[in-house]
């Protein structure tokens, strides 16, 4: 047996060796600084790298399921006569995307029997998650919401969980499969594939359902069933890619100790019981917290604030109960304490050990970088409608043309990040995002015009694509190869938490100050981000590896 060194120690050793070799995030480390050795031609040719092309197809596989839980499924349910209130509950099926960091350590640590030896850890988990997505889509297609709504809901939950798991593995694969210099290009390809997948699952699924419908205006279950079966067929793109690509070489994985099957099963049982405790607490707290919400409203607390407070309390209480259960079971030695420590505590310890005090500024940047974009984007569709734009204009300009500009911005951001460095493009993208919000303030004072809307959408989505590619590359560079899945899952959850919380009040802000001032205010939210990017960049360039 090999000696069992702590996982966090291996992560720190990896960082120290890496930082020393790369001169503590110098020009060839993380891609943070400008890489003057790369010409524009070299940067563009990076898109032809097989690993970059693979991320295009894996991005498609990741983008396909999400709209099959949201908009496409919502329309199917409404056509089936399901009540609007019940339709909106189905959005909870995608909660897995927000809480994927909870089971990301399982994906990071537990090897799958047989498949792990055949495909490797990343590809085996990727194959299983993709097969689960196909199975969930076929299961949903096999049940008519009219008489089997529960089973459709169960399939949607399975789809959300499987899709979130696939995201965990793809993120880890992307980080481990290529050097840091290629991360911006791989991020760009991933974003492009993801958006194409969303088009297929959104407009494509609706077009197929319409094509399969026998009689217009009458609900046709088989039409929607075949549309979802076709979506399952499109997942073959991801499955084939998984079988063709190589397993990434991760020396940190090779250094890990091998545990017995019994240890892995005990750890898995601990996770299942803790998850059951979370679900039970979340369910049982519903009624008492509804009563508490009514009390808050009676005390003249705004309904939205009362709902947010009680909802947060419900979530935090459920997480506390799950953590308490995990702690108790660990004390009772249901699972090896060292394994629990390596899986859930070591990733946090590794990050703070590597970056020290700088870690707090990095997390603040991660949590706020997208704030101007998300806060504005939440109210965008309502804004277009209020300004008098037609549904055709909204669909053609903001969706189709906007999607093209987002993909173009992603590729532009990838090329510029390779040529000039990730942090510089992060700063430029944040500035452009704030300025594009000011363009919406101008648009709010103009008469509806397709040209004006197209120009604003071009600027907004181009900057959004650039920032997305650079930001994903930045997050990838922060991640230790010893804890790839767990740390990236934490970053990706954190980056939307605060923006989404504020975005929930965007309608209230518009009612209070009107659109022009709201857009100006949302642009102002981006100013601290510009300072953070500059400050974090200076801190990371001067950080010294720990001894």
Q: Which domains does the chain have, with CATH numbers?
A: 42-254 (1.20.1250.20), 260-335 (no CATH), 354-542 (1.20.1250.20)
Over residues 494-506, the mean pLDDT reads 69
Q: Computed over its alpha carbons, how large is the radius of gyration of the chain?
A: 24
Please provide the average confidence, as pLDDT, over all residues in the chain.
79
- DSSP single-letter state for residue 67: G
Whole-number Å distance between alpha carbons of 440 and 460: 9
Name the band, by pLDDT with cuts 50, 70 and 90, for residue 232. very high
Task: Name 404's Cβ contacts closer than 8 Å, sequence gap at least 6.
Answer: none
What b/e readout covers 346-362, taking b as 16+ CB neighbours within 10 angstroms?
Answer: bbebbbebbbeebbeeb
Cβ pair 509, 454 in contact under 8 A = no
Over residues 42-67, the mean pLDDT reads 83
Give the pLDDT score at 501.
Answer: 64
Instruction: Note the pLDDT tens digit of each residue in 371-411.
Output: 888 777 767 777 887 888 886 787 788 877 888 888 888 88
Q: What percent of the chain has pLDDT over 90?
A: 19
Cβ pair 200, 234 in contact under 8 A = yes
Give the pLDDT score at 8.
Answer: 32
> What sign for the dihedral angle of Cα 381, 167, 436, 200?
negative
Q: What separation in angstroms does the CA of 284 have from each of 95, 263, 281, 295, 324?
A: 18, 32, 5, 19, 17
Over residues 213-217, the mean pLDDT reads 81
Give the pLDDT score at 1.
Answer: 37
Whole-number Å distance between alpha carbons of 488 and 193: 20
- Does an H or E element contain 350, and which? helix 346-355
What b/e readout covers 115-131, taking b as 16+ CB neighbours within 10 angstroms?
Answer: bbeebbbbbbbbbbbbe
| 388's tokens | 């008098």
Instruction: Note the pLDDT tens digit of each residue in 434-483.
Output: 888 899 999 999 998 999 999 999 999 898 888 888 888 888 788 877 77
pTM higher than the cut 0.85: no
Q: Among 32-41, 367-376, 536-545, whose mean pLDDT is lowest?
A: 32-41
Cβ pair 433, 467 in contact under 8 A = yes
Is pLDDT of 88 > 60?
A: no
Is pLDDT of 243 > 80?
A: yes
Q: SS3 string of 100-152?
A: HHHCHHHHHHCCCCCHHHHHCHHHHHHHHHHHHHHHHHHHHHCCCHHHHHHHH
Residue 481 has phi, psi (to 5 degrees) of: -65, -15
């Amino acid at each position: 047996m090999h000696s069992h060194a702590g996982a966090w120690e291996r992560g720190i050793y990896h960082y120290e060796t890496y930082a020393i070799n790369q001169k503590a995030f110098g020009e060839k480390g993380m891609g943070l600084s400008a890489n003057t050795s790369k010409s524009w031609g070299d940067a563009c040719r990076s898109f032809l790298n097989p690993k970059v092309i693979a991320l295009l197809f894996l991005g498609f596989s990741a983008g396909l399921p999400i709209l099959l839980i949201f908009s496409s499924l919502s329309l199917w349910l409404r056509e089936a006569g399901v009540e609007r209130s019940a339709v909106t509950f189905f959005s909870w099926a995608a909660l897995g995307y927000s809480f994927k960091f909870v089971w990301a350590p399982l994906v990071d640590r537990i090897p799958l029997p047989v498949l792990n030896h055949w495909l490797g850890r990343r590809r085996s988990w990727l194959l299983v998650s993709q097969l689960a997505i196909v199975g969930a889509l076929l299961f949903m297609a096999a049940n008519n919401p009219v008489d089997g709504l529960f089973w459709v809901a169960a399939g949607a939950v399975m789809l959300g969980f499987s899709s979130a798991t696939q995201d965990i593995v793809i993120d880890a694969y992307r980080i481990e499969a290529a050097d840091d210099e290629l991360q911006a290009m791989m991020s760009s390809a991933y974003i492009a594939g993801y958006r194409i997948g969303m088009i297929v699952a959104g407009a494509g699924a609706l077009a197929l359902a319409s094509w399969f419908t026998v009689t217009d205006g009458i609900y046709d279950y088989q039409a929607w069933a075949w549309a979802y079966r076709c979506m399952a067929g499109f997942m073959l793109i991801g499955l084939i890619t998984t079988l063709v690509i190589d397993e990434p070489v991760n020396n940190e994985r090779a250094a890990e100790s091998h545990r017995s099957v019994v240890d892995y099963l005990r750890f898995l049982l601990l996770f299942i019981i803790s998850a059951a405790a979370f679900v039970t607490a979340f369910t049982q707290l519903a009624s008492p917290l509804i009563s508490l919400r009514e009390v808050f409203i009676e005390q003249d607390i705004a309904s939205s604030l009362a709902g947010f407070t009680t909802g947060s309390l419900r979530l935090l209480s459920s997480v506390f109960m799950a953590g308490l259960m995990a702690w108790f079971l660990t004390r009772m030695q249901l699972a090896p304490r060292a394994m629990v420590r390596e899986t859930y505590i070591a990733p946090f310890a590794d990050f703070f050990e590597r970056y020290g005090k700088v870690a707090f500024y990095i997390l603040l940047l991660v949590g706020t970088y997208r704030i101007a974009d998300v806060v504005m984007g939440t109210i965008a569709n309502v804004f277009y409608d209020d300004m008098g734009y037609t549904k055709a204009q909204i669909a053609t300009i903001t969706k189709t043309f906007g999607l093209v500009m987002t993909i173009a911005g992603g590729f532009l951001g990838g090329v510029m990040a390779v040529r000039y460095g990730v942090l510089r493009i992060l700063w430029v993208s944040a500035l452009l995002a704030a300025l594009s919000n000011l363009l919406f303030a101008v648009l709010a004072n103009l008469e509806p015009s397709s040209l004006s809307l197209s120009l604003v959408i071009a600027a907004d989505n181009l900057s959004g694509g650039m920032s997305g590619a650079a930001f994903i590359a930045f997050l990838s560079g922060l991640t230790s190869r010893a804890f790839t899945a767990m740390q990236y899952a934490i970053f990706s959850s954190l980056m939307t938490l605060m923006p989404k919380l504020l975005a929930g009040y965007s309608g209230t802000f518009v009612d209070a100050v009107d659109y022009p001032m709201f857009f100006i205010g949302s642009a102002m939210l981006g100013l601290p981000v510009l300072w953070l990017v500059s400050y974090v960049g200076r801190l990371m360039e001067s950080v010294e590896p720990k001894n």
